[in-house]
Amino acid sequence: MRLGIVIPCYNEEEVLAETTQRVEALLKEMIEKGEIADNSFVCFVDDGSRDRTWEIIENLSNQNPHFKGIKLSRNFGHQNALIAGLMQLKDSADALISMDADLQDDIMVVRQFVEKYKDGYDVVYGVREDRSKDSTFKRATAEFFYKFQSFMGIESVSNHADYRLLSQKALNALAEFKEINLFIRGVVPLIGFRSCSVYYSRGERFAGESKYPLKKMILFALDGIASFSIVPLRIITLIGFIIFLFSLLIIFWVLIEKYLLGSTIQGWSSVIISIYFMGGIQLMSMGIIGEYVGRIFQQSKNRPRYIIDKEI
C-alpha cells in the first residue's frame, strides 16, 4: 500500500527540522516492516510562508526521495493548503493522511490509520480524546462550537480536526465538492463510505506559535456554520412569525384600550398596530426571501448529489 502524508506549513521553520526527523523515522520503520510500500512519501505544502520554510523543504527533498514539496503562490489558509496537497497527490497514493506541521497530533497514530485502511475503511478520523494540553480557552470555545454546530443540524465528528486518512476513493469523492469556502472537516462526513475513528491525546505545540489567532478561529468557525446550514435564515422566518402572532394580540389589546376603555390618546392605536404588525410581516417576508437565497446558496455550491461506492 502506497501511503502519502500531507503536511501544510505556514511559517513553520522552527518546527520543521524536528517534524521531518520524526516523520522520516516513522516512515522508514513502516517501510522496513513492510507496512507500507517503498514509494510512500511525505509532502509539505508551503502555504506562502515568509520565513525559511520553503528553503528547508527544498533541501529535504534534494536529500531524501521520500520528501516532496508544493509551494503555493501566496498564503491561502490552512484549509486551502490542505486541499491543494490532497488534490495534487490523490492519484499518486492509495491513501493520504493529513496532519499539522507542529506535531500536536501524535504521529504514532499513523500506524493505526494504516491498519484501519487495510481493514477496508476509506475514511479514518483521528479524534482527540484528551485535550488537557490545549488552553482552557481553546477547549471551551471548541466545545461550544461543536455543540452549536449540532444545534444547527450539521453532522460533524466532535474533537476531530484535520488529522485523518482518506483512501483514494474518498479523495476522488472529496474532489467533487467544488465550493470555494471549503470546510474540509464538515464535508468529509458527507462523503460516506466506511469510516471509523482512532483516538489519541493531543500534545502541545513544541515550538513556534499557533497560526490560528482568535480572528482566524472565528472566521473559520463562521465558515463551518454558514457553509453547511441555512438554519440561521429559518430563524428569521420563525422570529417573524412569532412577532406576527404577537401583533394579533397587540391589535386585540389596542382595540380594547381604544373602544372599550377609551383611555388612549390620538394616533396611538394606529402607530402601535402598524409597528408590530408590519414588523412581523417584514421579518417573515425576509425569511421567505431567505428560503430562496438559501436554495441559491446551496445550488451554487454544486455539491455532488450522490457518490457511488460500488457497482455490480
Residue 212 binds to ligand UDP (criterion: CB under 6 A): yes
Residue 46 binds to Mg ion (criterion: CB under 5 A): no
> Measured between alpha carbons, how far is 240 from 7 in angstroms, rounded to an integer?
47
46, 47, 102, 162: residue in contact with Mg ion (rule CB under 5 A):
102
Residue 90 binds to ligand UDP (criterion: CB under 6 A): no
What are the DSSP calls for 257-284, one per residue? IIIII--PPTTHHHHHHHHHHHHHHHHH
Least separation in angstroms between CB 21 and ligand UDP: 16
* Partner in contact with 211, chosen from ligand UDP, Mg ion, none, beta carbon below 5 to 8 Å by kind: ligand UDP
Return the C-alpha cell found at 86. Answer: 490532497
Between residues 137 and 292, which has the closer beta carbon with respect to ligand UDP? 137
5, 10, 197, 280: residue in contact with ligand UDP (rule CB under 6 A):
10
3, 4, 5, 12: residue in contact with ligand UDP (rule CB under 6 A):
12
Residue 77 binds to ligand UDP (criterion: CB under 6 A): yes
Least separation in angstroms between CB 104 and ligand UDP: 5
Return the C-alpha cell found at 112. Answer: 493505526
| Environment class of 194 (CB within 10 Å of its CB; exposed 0-12, middle 13-18, buried 19+) | middle
Give the Å distances, CA to CA, from 71 to 81, 93, 168, 172. Answer: 9, 19, 22, 22
| Chain residues 40-59 in contact with ligand UDP, contact rule CB under 6 A | 47
For 219, the 3-state DSSP assignment is: helix
> Measured between alpha carbons, how far is 184 from 87 in angstroms, rounded to an integer?
12
> Measured between alpha carbons, how far is 37 from 10 in angstroms, rounded to an integer?
29
**Rule CB under 5 A: which residues touch Mg ion?**
100, 102, 104, 205
**Rule CB under 6 A: which residues touch ligand UDP?**
8-10, 12, 47, 75, 77-78, 81, 100-102, 104, 205, 210-212
